A and B are shown apart, each in its own frame.
Chain A
Amino acid sequence: MSNLSRRSVIGSLLAGGTAAVLGTSATDARSQGTAYNGYNRPLPADWSIPFDPSATRPTWYPRNLPTPGEVIHEYNIEVILTPHEILPMAHFPAYTYNGTVPGPELRVREGDWVKVNLLNKTHDFHTIHWHGVDVKCEMDGVPFSTQYPVGYNQTFQYLFRAQPAGTHFYHCHQMTNLHVQAGLYGAIIIESAVDPVKQQFPYTRDYTMVLSEVDTAFVEAQINDMELMGTQMDYMSRSPEMMAKMSGEMMGWFASKEAFMSAIKSGWIPPYASSVAGKFRQIQPNFFMINGKSYPMAEHIRIKRGELIRIRLIGAGMMPHFMHLHGHNFWHVCQDGAPLQCPVQMNTIPVFPGTTCDIIVEGTNPGNWHFHDHSDLCLTNNGASPGGMMTMLMYDDAAAEGFTFPEVLTLNS
Chain B
Amino acid sequence: MWWLTTKRNSLQAVAAAICVFTWGAQAKAQVQHTPVPEQPSLAPQLEIDGSGIATLEGRFPEHNAPGGGKISTSRINFSDSSLVIGASQRLYRGGGIGSLVLGVTTSDNSLNSTGTGLFLHQAYLDYATNPLEAVIGRTDVPTQLITFPTLRGDDLVEFTGVLDPFSSGGNVQEHRYSNQVAVTFNKNLRYFLNLHAQHLIDSTGAGGDQTGINSYGATFMYQGAPVLADMERVPQWGVGVEEQEIPGSKGGADTALYGGVVWNIKSDPIDRFDLRFQDTYTTGNSLKTFGDIADTYRAAANSAAMSFRYLHSPFGRPAYQVALTLGLRTYQNVPNSSSFAIALTGVKRLGEGFDLIAQYSYQHWASAGAAVFGGPDNNTIQLGFAYNFTDTFNQHIAPRRSLLSLQHQYIPE
Contact = CB atoms under 8 A, between A and B. Distances in A.
Interface of A: 81-83, 89-93, 216-217, 220-221, 223-224, 227-228, 231-232, 235-236, 239, 241-242, 245, 247, 249-250, 267-269, 275-276
A221 B395 contact: yes
A286 to B, nearest CB: 9
Given A224-B404, A227-B403, A275-B352, A245 B410 contact: no
Contact of A90 (B231, B402, B413): B413
A241 B225 CA distance: 22
B228 A224 contact: no
Given A217-B395, A242-B267, 11 more contacts: A82-B408, A89-B413, A91-B413, A93-B404, A231-B225, A245-B269, A245-B270, A249-B316, A250-B269, A269-B315, A275-B351
Interface string B181-222: 000000000000000000000000000000000000000000
Given A220-B412, A227-B404, A235 B314 contact: no
B76 interface: no
B315 A231 contact: no
Interface in B338-359: 351-352
A245 B268 CA distance: 8
B231 A235 contact: yes
Nearest to A223: B404
A220 B398 contact: yes
Contacts of A247: 315
A378 to B, nearest CB: 19
B412 A83 contact: yes
A249 B316 CA distance: 8
A232 B413 contact: no
25 contacts: A82-B408, A83-B412, A91-B413, A92-B412, A216-B412, A220-B398, A224-B404, A227-B403, A227-B407, A228-B403, A232-B228, A235-B232, A239-B267, A242-B269, A245-B268, A245-B269, A245-B271, A247-B315, A249-B314, A249-B315, A249-B316, A250-B316, A268-B315, A275-B352, A276-B317
Contacts of B231: 232, 235-236, 242
A220 B404 contact: yes
A235 B224 CA distance: 13
A231 B271 CA distance: 18
A169 B57 CA distance: 65
A232 B407 CA distance: 13
B396 interface: yes
B31 interface: no
B227 A231 contact: yes
A81 B404 CA distance: 9
A41 to B, nearest CB: 53
A232 B269 contact: yes
Main secondary structure of the interface of B (DSSP, over half): loop
Contact of B314 (A227, A236, A267, A275): A267
A231 B269 contact: no
Nearest to A250: B316
| Leading 10 A-B pairs by shortest Cβ distance | A249-B315, A228-B227, A250-B316, A91-B412, A89-B413, A224-B402, A227-B403, A245-B270, A228-B403, A235-B231
Contacts of A267: 314-315
Contacts of B267: 239, 242
Interface of B: 225, 227-228, 231-232, 267-271, 314-317, 351-352, 395-396, 398, 402-404, 407-408, 410, 412-413
Contacts of A91: 412-413
A254 B404 CA distance: 29
Contacts of B232: 235
A91 B404 CA distance: 13
B294 to A, nearest CB: 45
Contacts of A241: 268
Contacts of A82: 408
Contacts of A81: 408
A145 B268 CA distance: 31
A216 B267 CA distance: 34
A200 B390 CA distance: 62
A276 B351 CA distance: 8
A231 B407 contact: yes
A195 to B, nearest CB: 42
Given A228-B403, A231-B228, A245-B269, A93 B314 contact: no
A387 to B, nearest CB: 16
A391 B316 CA distance: 48
B396 A217 contact: yes
Tell which of B225, B268, B395, B404 has the most Cβ of chain A within 10 Å: B404
Contacts of A250: 269, 315-316
A231 B230 CA distance: 12
A269 B396 contact: no
A269 B408 CA distance: 32
Nearest to B412: A91
A232 B227 contact: yes
A231 B226 CA distance: 11
A308 B53 CA distance: 72
Nearest to A229: B227
| Residue of B270, B351, B403 contacting most chain A CB atoms (<10 Å) | B403
B229 to A, nearest CB: 10
A216 B404 CA distance: 14
Residue from A82, A242, A268, A276 having most chain B Cβ neighbours under 10 A: A242
A235 B267 CA distance: 11
Contacts of A235: 228, 231-232
A357 B205 CA distance: 79
A78 to B, nearest CB: 16
Contact of B317 (A221, A228, A242, A269): A269
A183 B321 CA distance: 41
A231 B403 contact: yes
Given A93-B410, A227-B407, A250-B315, A242 B227 contact: no
